[in-house]
Amino acid sequence: MKKLILFLLFAVCGFAAECDFTPVAVPESTPEAVSFYKSGNILWAIQLLWSLAIPALILFSGFGVRLRNFCQRITGIWLWKTALFALFFLLIVTVLTLPLDFYTSYIRPHSYGLSNQPLGRWLQHYLIGTGMSTGVGIILVWILYGVIRVSPKRWWLYFGLLSFPMTLFFVLIYPLWVSPLFNQFGPMQDKQLEQKILHLAYRAGIEGSRVYEVNKSTDTKAINAYVTGIGTSKRIVIWDTAIKGLSEDELLFVMGHEMGHYVLHHIWWGIAIQTALSIAILSLVYITGNRYVRKLGGWNDIASLPLIILLYTFYSFLLSPISNLASQKKEHDADTFGLELTHLNEAAATGFVKLQYNNLGYPWPGKLYMLFRASHPSIGSRITYFNTYHPWCEGKKGKYEKRFHAIIGE
């Protein structure tokens, strides 16, 4: 009876199939969006080269060996020597990347009107983020070289396998402990909209969730919403910019898309794919770095850390099309899920038109961009898909329709 009542509420809220919608044209890019796209490609290339140059400079200049010797003079205890080297290395990287980080995350978004974050707030977030990443980095270096000490020839496999539980742990704690450090997570102000989202979540098969509204407007003008967490950390999160910038139907489709990620277990698939890629990348690091690492005293020498970082960054770039294409496939499946769940084709398309204008999106990026930079399908292809995918209008069943009926008709 409870599920029947929720189904009726769902229907009353206006989620019945709508087949007479007007197709939405993909808008042309504004000159500002074209500039943002092209300059972003240049900036991405500079960041990539700089991320390779820093560990290469530390490695080939011999500074890494001198830093190791310095740490050994301070303490002969492996645990503290490793932590000191990791700390100094990460601090050096932070200092050398600070100007680029400042331009990328503060100056550039402000110059394009995408951010309203005060400088003091940016600095606060930067210091918190840097402190946390440094602490996590030291722990990861401890684990890495602990594994190397135990298995000098198979460390790449074991550490790669460990990336699965470590990533899972981060997914569990991030929404509970990390995100609230940067923004306020509170209950939704619009209770009627909250009920519609919960009804949508129930139909999608997500029960026991809580909806949070986040004050992201203090930092950005971008629009976003997501479903995250596992078990008790499960939550539906909506940026206040999305509530203000999208219509109710547009927001409901976005939530249906995000619910698709959760129901289709994309978090688990994503972790599994990244684990497999980590093993592949680390194996390449081991194979190609073996000859040079002998000059440093072997992989168990902490001075090999810049070499590992350099090679890992390089091979991550080479294999990035694999993770990007896999991510694009998951996003496409979530789009399908959201359309079948809501039948809000026109709202989906108009919502992404708003996203394109609001975020200075470029609707048709080049092939290299899609391979090496894009984790999502292009905005143009998504709007086109929203206009054309509606099997229910032809009396056909959707890809995920059985999931909804199984939940409701139980």
Using the structure block, give the residue that is written with the tokens 């990861």: 140
Closest by Cα among 354, 323, 348, 351 to 335: 348
C-alpha to C-alpha distance for 192 and 188, rounded to whole angstroms: 9
Angle between helices 119-150 and 78-102 (to 10 degrees): 140
Is residue 314 within 8 Å of 200, Cβ to Cβ?
Answer: no
| Main-chain dihedrals φ then ψ at residue 163, nearest 5 degrees | -65, -25
Cα Rg, the chain, nearest whole Å: 24
Tokens 């995250």 locate to: 228
Task: Find out whether 399 and 340 touch, Cβ atoms under 8 Å.
Answer: yes
Q: How far apart, in whole angstroms, are the C-alpha atoms of residue 182 and residue 163?
A: 25
Backbone dihedral region for residue 28 (phi beyond 0: left; psi -120 to 50: alpha; all else: beta) = beta
Is the distance from CB of 15 to CB of 342 less than 8 angstroms?
yes
Specify whether the CB–CB gap between 379 and 333 falls below 8 A: no
Residues with active-site annotation: 258
Look-up of token digits 């997501």: 226
Degrees, nearest 5: CA angle 287-289-295:
135
* Distance of alpha carbon 81 from alpha carbon 67, whole angstroms: 10
Q: For residue 220, give the DSSP letter.
A: B
User: Is residue 1 within a helix (H) or strand (E), and if so which, with residue range?
Assistant: none
Beta carbons within 8 Å of 132's beta carbon, 6+ residues apart: 178
